[in-house]
Amino acid sequence: MVNWSNMDTLTAYNALDKVDKVDLISVMSGEDGVKRVKEMSVQMGGGLSYNYAAKEVDEKIIDALANLAKEAQLTEKYAALYNGEVINTGEKRLVLHQLTRGQLGNDVVADNVNKRDFYINEQNKIADFAKKVHSGEIANAAGEKFTTVVQIGIGGSDLGPRAMYLALENWAKKNNTFKMEAKFISNVDPDDAAAVLNSIDVAHSIFVLVSKSGTTLETLTNESFVKDALKKAGLDPSKHMIAVTSETSPLAKSADYLAAFFMDDYIGGRFSSTSSVGGAVLSLAFGPEVFADFLEGAAQEDALAKNEDIRNNPAMLDALIGVYERNVLGYPATAVLPYSQALSRFPAHLQQLDMESNGKSVNRFGEPINYKTGPVIFGEPGTNGQHSFYQLLHQGTDIVPLQFIGFKNNQLGTDVDIQGSTSQQKLCANVAAQIVAFACGKKDANANKNFAGARPSSIIIGNKLDPKALGALLAHFENKVMFQGFVWNINSFDQEGVQLGKVLAKKVLAHETDGALKIYSDLLNI
């Protein structure tokens, strides 16, 4: 039987603070550091590995975290999730995003439908549609091929798919799987839609409208903006638009769309990149085979998350180390630092994934909790970040744990040897240097040049960023967030915090305001 208990009631959690702390500078120096880097690594899916040598943990702390994982029943709670129990207590829903990429346990039947079969069917429908677009069987009014796909969505309908597209764009071009350029419209700011429309040939563009409910204000506003542009170009919008929505939404059977592909209430927006939300745009951009490989990488990582031994479960281990940093060491934030330009928008996606999921102050039952939950997530690709906010990370008053991501090889294979090393070697040299610099620091009599060190980090390492590696990387962080939510006994799968602003915005637009809300509305000339 699974028990949902607050973290501070668990014996294993209360024992954590009594375990001796690790002197990171000491253990990362000399031969001790060499041994740690070689031994403290876990294999992930997609050919990746998770190395946690530069974290403030040792075998005693890992043992204590393993005890916490056992007492918190993390393995059992994950099994309850993928076997179809109601895990999203706030909305009384199942949580099934893992099921979009593989069968992990029992058949899950909801709404009298086998959900795995449902997701596979939608993937097959998307694959068939994409192939017809690529072949020209589905074309514009002039019989010409579509060359651009534009996704219209916001939040999880934009951040994840956009990050995944950018991550694979150059890889696809190098490997001859690039089919169509993708663009994204998300912000209700009219400049966003106008800028995208000005950059494309609308006559050769197909638009993907993504809204589960079919009522998302920003998305429907941008749809109207796009339809207006199509009409002004003498085009029939219904011949240029497809919908990704739920079967019960007003968009599902509308004649306004070439086709409709479905998701359901069991896939949260920020977890939807492996559903039709990501599947349509990525299959159109790169081909359905690439999307299938992406799903395979995610499925490999999901399978590893079932492992009861945290030393062989990278997502659970990463999650528990993060809990230790947040709740025992008291660190308020985490920086995600991909040393890959292809992952330029990945930190933005993780901001939503982590902060929308675990930014909660009540438990699963709506009761206040007395401990910290999700950290602030931010990041930027290296080496750009080194010339931006690393100053604070190295010498600021707060210690911020770091999650590096690095690859041995670049995607395009194009490089140049300058001053005895290639650009890729210089990039990787910076990753290695930063990890050691953060961990070990440097003593200097000049206080302005003194580096205290003891800044913990981990690194996920791969050979090259390809679809399987990307899928595994995505699933790793999704599962990390899930496990942390289980430990904190919060519901990681609702997002009530985004609702209040929406309600008030509607009041403003209806001119039903008073007090400060009216004054701010007047200041903005609404």
174 catalytically annotated: no
Where b means 16+ CB within 10 Å and e means fewer, 352-361 reads bbbbbbbbbe
Q: How far is CA 495 from CA 274, 322, 351, 370, 484, in A?
A: 20, 21, 14, 20, 16
What are the helix (H) ranges across 324-443?
A: 346-358, 390-395, 423-440
Segment holding 133, helix H or strand E: helix 115-135
Q: What are phi and psi of 444, to 5 degrees?
A: -150, 135
Q: For the packed helices 159-174 and 276-286, what is the interaxial angle rounded to 10 degrees?
A: 20
Decide: 153 and 226 in contact? Cβ < 8 Å: no
Q: Which is the catalytic residue, given 21, 387, 443, 449? A: 387
Q: How far is CA 193 from CA 61, 186, 229, 485, in A?
A: 50, 8, 10, 36
Where b means 16+ CB within 10 Å and e means fewer, 252-276 reads eeeeebbbbbbbbbbbbbbbbbbbb
Q: Which is the catalytic residue, given 56, 122, 356, 478? A: 356
User: What order of strands is seen across the sheet that includes strand 41-43?
Assistant: 41-43, 49-51, 457-462, 402-407, 333-339, 376-379
Instruction: Report strand pairing: 241-246 vs 49-51.
Output: unpaired
Angle CA 111–114–119, to nearest 5: 105
301 catalytically annotated: no
Decide: 371 and 326 in contact? Cβ < 8 Å: no
Q: What is the rounded distance in angstroms from the CA atom of residue 136 to the CA atom of residue 414?
A: 32
Location of structure tokens 């429907």: 220
Q: Which is the catalytic residue, given 38, 502, 506, 512? A: 502
356 catalytically annotated: yes
Segment holding 84, helix H or strand E: none
Neighbours of 237 (CB within 10 A): 19
Q: What are phi and psi of 130, to 5 degrees?
A: -60, -40
What residues act catalytically? 356, 387, 502
